[in-house]
Structure 1
């Protein structure tokens, strides 16, 4: 085989390997999301219903009791709190809105909840997320938004958050910006920023890229780019 033939085989093999890696990555994401969905349903349907039944029994016992035992009141309160946490855990694993309403509404809900909890200004322009996207890309962008907004709530202490999306050429860009503490982007990641590595890896699996602009005291802007087509 001549030199040109060897070069052609090498190029073909490289393309085939890349395509195989992409297919395997998509399958990995699909399996992960299937597991999340199953666990979410089990939490909601099984554990959630059991806790609801226990709470109802406790409230009935309290109503029928002639003496208000503070231990019953405390038990009912703890069950109510646990039920709320189970609901939140099931929602975070696989929010119903993602399947029912789509990516745009789900990301808007994430941002609205965070800003409402923090009592801060929230700017959103997410119309672009209404565009059709491959399932694995939509799931990835949702997880990026979820992780980024969670980090903001835990570590940034911002007064304003902006979440926008737009299409450029054949790619979707999701931008999440806050005016909070920021961090030293050139330093080793601290406990609050280890999620960046996971976000980069997840985006890379679908052919995307993550970039971050930040500095101490200057806030943080995160850009998540992902392909429109699979």
Structure 2
């Protein structure tokens, strides 16, 4: 009897430890997102406004000055570029569309922006993302899409990208596919693929899972599955 109680106590402690780790991981992600939101607002509202004012002044001075036209034009161009980078950084930290327009529009924007930058076609079927999801699940799927598409832009060199979402039974599946370089899925992942671990951990916290199918020079497909009722 004493041994049975000891074994049961050990099992309970193990479950408690896992539950505690999950709670701590959830809290860590929540804190990170709060920090992202605050920094995003500061970048967009404060720094972005100041850059816009400087750019306006430079454009006004350039319009009324002959001798300094060339230098002012270059300065204005640099400020415009910096302003665009600040906007992109704020958008990536916490996209306004996710709160204002929803998950579908946000993921569509991510895919459209990448395909426009790469000059390649993008196939999208994201109607399923119009369905209401818990805020944590929606944010998780957005971050997975963001990470997967960022990886494609950095490493894949694809000629096309496909982003789809479908509901089967009580689960939502987000699929992001490219026909690019791929990688050896059997090899130990290096620093360039650390994002996969982050995606997997985020999905696990909402009861989801990540599946990656890839092979060298044969493209990569990322599946993110989440329960609709969590």
Normalized against structure 1, the TM-score is what?
Answer: 0.89
Determine the C-alpha separation between the residues in 2 that align with 1:120 and 1:60: 37
The answer to which of 22-31 and 147-156 deviates more is 22-31
For the residue of structure 2 that corresponds to 1:194, the secondary structure is: helix
1:154 and 2:154 correspond: yes
The answer to which of 60-69 and 26-35 deviates more is 60-69
Alignment of 1:135-146 (within 5 A): 135-146=135-146
The answer to which of 155-164 and 9-18 deviates more is 9-18
Q: Does the 8 Å contact 1:156/1:181 carry over to 2?
A: yes
> Who is 2:52 aligned against?
52
Determine the C-alpha separation between the residues in 1 that align with 2:50 and 2:213: 46
Q: Once the 2 structures are TM-superposed, how far is the Cα of residue 144 of structure 1 from its aligned partner? A: 0.7
1:35 and 2:41 correspond: no
Q: Once the 2 structures are TM-superposed, how far is the Cα of residue 40 of structure 1 from its aligned partner? A: 0.5
Q: Structure 1, unaligned stretches of length 5 or more?
A: none
Q: Does the 8 Å contact 1:25/1:206 carry over to 2?
A: no
Q: Once the 2 structures are TM-superposed, how far is the Cα of residue 15 of structure 1 from its aligned partner? A: 4.4
> Who is 2:63 aligned against?
63
Q: Structure 2, unaligned stretches of length 5 or more?
A: none
Q: Once the 2 structures are TM-superposed, how far is the Cα of residue 62 of structure 1 from its aligned partner? A: 1.6
1:88 and 2:63 correspond: no
User: Once superposed, what is the RMSD of the aligned Cα atoms?
Assistant: 2.1
> Who is 1:132 aligned against?
132
Q: Deviations over 1:113-158 (max 9, x none)?
A: 1122222222222222222222222111101100111111121111
Q: Once the 2 structures are TM-superposed, how far is the Cα of residue 13 of structure 1 from its aligned partner? A: 4.6
Distance 1:225 1:157, change over 3 A: same
Q: Deviations over 1:6-32 (max 9, x none)?
A: 666555555444444333332222211
Q: Once the 2 structures are TM-superposed, how far is the Cα of residue 193 of structure 1 from its aligned partner? A: 2.3
1:104 and 2:91 correspond: no
Q: Deviations over 1:68-91 (max 9, x none)?
A: 442222111111110011011111
- Higher-RCO chain (CA-CA 8 Å, sequence separation at least 6): 1
Determine the C-alpha separation between the residues in 2 that align with 1:110 and 1:167: 21
Distance 1:20 1:192, change over 3 A: closer
Q: Once the 2 structures are TM-superposed, how far is the Cα of residue 64 of structure 1 from its aligned partner? A: 2.5
1:207 and 2:207 correspond: yes
> Who is 1:187 aligned against?
187
For the residue of structure 2 that corresponds to 1:159, the secondary structure is: coil
Determine the C-alpha separation between the residues in 2 that align with 1:173 and 1:13: 34
The answer to which of 109-118 and 17-26 deviates more is 17-26
The answer to which of 214-223 and 122-131 deviates more is 122-131
Number of aligned residues: 230
Distance 1:16 1:188, change over 3 A: closer
1:218 and 2:227 correspond: no
For the residue of structure 2 that corresponds to 1:212, the secondary structure is: strand
Normalized against structure 2, the TM-score is what?
Answer: 0.89
